[in-house]
Amino acid sequence: MPRKRSSRRWLSEHFNDPYVKEAQRRGLRSRAVFKLQEINDRDEIFKPGQTVVDLGAAPGGWSEYAAQKVLPTGRVVGIDLLPMPVPAGVAFVNADFASDEGLAALDNLLEGQAADVVLSDMAPNLSGIKAVDQPRAMMLAELALDFCDTRLNPGGTLLVKVFQGQGFDELLTQVRQRFGKVQSRKPEASRDRSREVYLLARSFVA
């Protein structure tokens, strides 16, 4: 059966994407690393010695980049439902962050230590049906925010991927209630037609 037109378009866009080509040239895990790098170059999220939690860590590019910034005195802990080769210096649990079991496994890795930075590049498996995909995406962002309520140090930082659409304004209000400074970032490595943006929330109020 021939590929759908949208699938052919995605494949063409993907393999001609300069960020994909550059990631392959450098041996990086994914093009998503360039999004985090651009945000960090602008906003200086990471500092040596921090504890970083990467929610939805696979394929590991964000964890690997964060580890380069906070090690050797800091630590990076990641979790994902998908398995991945674990980057050097990163502690990883292969579990569902949305489950009680996955959260308990993540807490076990943290050993009672709170995070200084929480990262979430999580996105649901997309069905192509906006009325289904958007609530799923917002739920993941809300879970990341809920995680911060009990596991982020005062003054800490959250960087979370969200999708503009239904529920976005409500989530933004919730984030602003918890953080002293909230900014929106759209890295150049994000595809123009994508509705994704990143909320960078700093100065967490416990």
Active site residue 35: no
Residue 17 marked ligand-binding: no
Q: Name 176's Cβ contacts closer than 8 Å, sequence gap at least 6.
A: 182
Nearest to residue 25, comparing CAs of 83, 33, 190, 122? 33
Residue 155 marked ligand-binding: no
Residue 80 marked ligand-binding: yes
Contact, 90 vs 105, CB < 8 A?
no
Residue 62 marked ligand-binding: yes
Per annotation, catalytic residue among 69, 130, 161, 181: 161
Contact, 156 vs 144, CB < 8 A?
no
CA distances 111 to 48, 92, 95, 145, Å, are: 20, 13, 17, 20
Residue 102 marked ligand-binding: no
Contact, 89 vs 74, CB < 8 A?
no
Please state the residue numbers annotated as binding site for S-adenosyl-L-methionine: 60, 62, 80, 96, 121
Please state the residue numbers annotated as binding site: 60, 62, 80, 96, 121
Residues labelled catalytic: 161
